[in-house]
Amino acid sequence: MIKAQNMLKFIDNKITFDYSRCQQCGACGAVCPKGAITFAMRDDATHDVVVDGDKCISCQRCVRVCPANKEEDYKGYFEGFDKKRYFLGYNVDDKIRRESSSGGVCKTLIIESLKNDLADGFYTLRRTDVFPFAEGEFYTKDNIPDYGDMPNSVYHTLLACRNIDKIKKCKRLIVVGTSCQLRAMNAALKGRADEIIRVCIFCKQQKTLDSTRFLAKMMGTRVPENRIFFVRYRGQGWQGIVRVNEAMLPWNRAASLPFGKRLWTVPGCNVCGDPFGTNAEADISLMDPWNIRRPNDLGETLITVHTDCGMELLKSIGTIKLEEKSFDDVKPALDLKDVWRKQQLVPFFRGEKCSDVVHKAGMAELWQRKFLRNFVEIMPRMPLLLYRVLCHFLPDTCNKILSDKKQK
């Protein structure tokens, strides 16, 4: 067995793997024709890619499908955002709206598209009862899921593309995923459907299981070493709650430190600056309405429409209520400045040549993450207020350095 160290590349007639760039999509294992690729789970529930040299035939399908191998061009990325169409959307059934993440738009798209012959295939996640509590599933009109069959938001990494080999030939296929997962599917599913509609789940940072371990600690419980526990992210209105075992916490309090300070981020997320999926040819993007909506008992999704095809799909589903918004209405939620910051750091994290300012900002980012992560992991459980104070008052040096660069 070869456990190589350099993101799927073909070197010296071997497939090599670089964990620091892996985006944990699992597509490489799905496309391997000989089953030569398996995944070894680490303690933080991310995976190493393990290549069996005896089975590998050096076809390099895994190399071609890997989203981390594709260097993205972000020039002009923000042009046209003021001309896109935006909606707050939610399921018209208050129970479904309340129990789903952010109003239930994603689940409704899946179920109603299959029920109403808007697609003959849908690839998304299926809820499971054991960790990681979700896996990729191919749905058709012959196995339409219920709302409870699919998970709410999942805030620990999972190999979402691992089961794309289940997808059968379709006339119209709809796929759901983060930007990296969509890029992997774009490469893997060529010829599998006459038309593919892409739904992007807005994502700036997937999390390792250590993030959930921290949330459990905040709540006075724990994730056991055998990973036999219960977790549910979101639901019960917006912003919703997170539950670990029998404990629960409002999501805005739980998310402030790990997401606000970018802790326990999957390493491969550092080399992706396309959270909306525009470079992955997304037709629509779904995200939370942070900064533009107050907490409420029901919830809604902020929808960014990129294409006419995406608009047509949305309008065809009568159980989704759409409230159109202007770019100025939704701009605070889009957080384009932070997306720009993330893009600036991509060359640093790829190990490429970058300016002194970007290098300084990247080093500050690494230092802040390491310091904060070590601090909150070593310290015993603290009152929630102290975590919020820590997140709010600790200066974000990386953002300050890059903001100064942008102003110049």
Which pLDDT belongs to residue 6?
Answer: 37
Average pLDDT over residues 297-311: 97
Q: What is the mean pLDDT of the chain?
A: 94
Distances (CA, A) of 274 to 23, 77, 179: 13, 9, 6
Which pLDDT belongs to residue 394?
Answer: 86
User: How many helices and strands (H and E) does the chain possess?
Assistant: 13, 15
**Burial annotation 4-22 (CB, 10 A radius, 16+ → b, else e):** beebbeeeeeebbbbeebb
Task: Name residues whose C-beta falls within 8 Å of residue 318's C-beta, 6 or more positions apart in sequence.
Answer: 112
122: DSSP letter: E
* pLDDT value at 20 more than 60: yes
Helix/strand/coil percentages in the chain, nearest 5: 40, 20, 40
Structure-token pair, residue 228: 């036999």
Q: What is the pLDDT of residues 99-108, one digit of tens each?
A: 999 999 999 9
* pLDDT value at 5 more than 60: no
Confidence bin at 72 (pLDDT 50/70/90): confident
Q: What is the pTM of this model?
A: 0.94
Cα 305 → chain centroid: 18
Question: Quick one: angle between helices 209-218 and 251-260, nearest 10?
Answer: 130
- Range of lowest pLDDT (23-37, 139-153, 379-393): 379-393
* pLDDT value at 406 more than 70: no
Q: What is the pLDDT of residues 383-397, one digit of tens each?
A: 998 998 888 888 888
Which pLDDT belongs to residue 10?
Answer: 75
Q: How far apart are alpha carbons 387 and 217 in whole angstroms?
A: 12
Virtual CA dihedral for 176, 177, 182, 185, nearest 10 degrees? -70
Task: Name residues whose C-beta falls within 8 Å of residue 399's C-beta, 6 or more positions apart in sequence.
Answer: 338, 341
Task: Name residues whose C-beta falls within 8 Å of residue 356's C-beta, 6 or more positions apart in sequence.
Answer: none
Task: Name residues whose C-beta falls within 8 Å of residue 256's C-beta, 6 or more positions apart in sequence.
Answer: 387, 388, 391, 392
Nearest to 152 by CA among 262, 299, 42: 299
Q: How far apart are alpha carbons 141 and 118 in whole angstroms?
A: 10
Confidence bin at 3 (pLDDT 50/70/90): very low
* pLDDT value at 122 more than 80: yes
Average pLDDT over residues 35-61: 95
Which pLDDT belongs to residue 80?
Answer: 94
Q: Which class for 190: exposed (0-12), middle (13-18), buried (19 or more C-beta within 10 A)?
A: exposed
Q: What is the pLDDT of residues 241-250, one digit of tens each?
A: 999 999 999 9
Which pLDDT belongs to residue 2?
Answer: 37
Percent of the chain with pLDDT over 90: 89
Confidence bin at 327 (pLDDT 50/70/90): very high
Confidence bin at 404 (pLDDT 50/70/90): low
Q: How far apart are alpha carbons 102 and 119 in whole angstroms?
A: 23
Average pLDDT over residues 15-41: 95
Q: What is the pLDDT of residues 215-261, one digit of tens each?
A: 999 999 999 999 999 999 999 999 999 999 999 999 999 999 999 99
Which pLDDT belongs to residue 1?
Answer: 38
Confidence bin at 109 (pLDDT 50/70/90): very high
Give bridge partners of residue 320 from the DSSP assignment: 91
Structure-token pair, residue 60: 């390099």
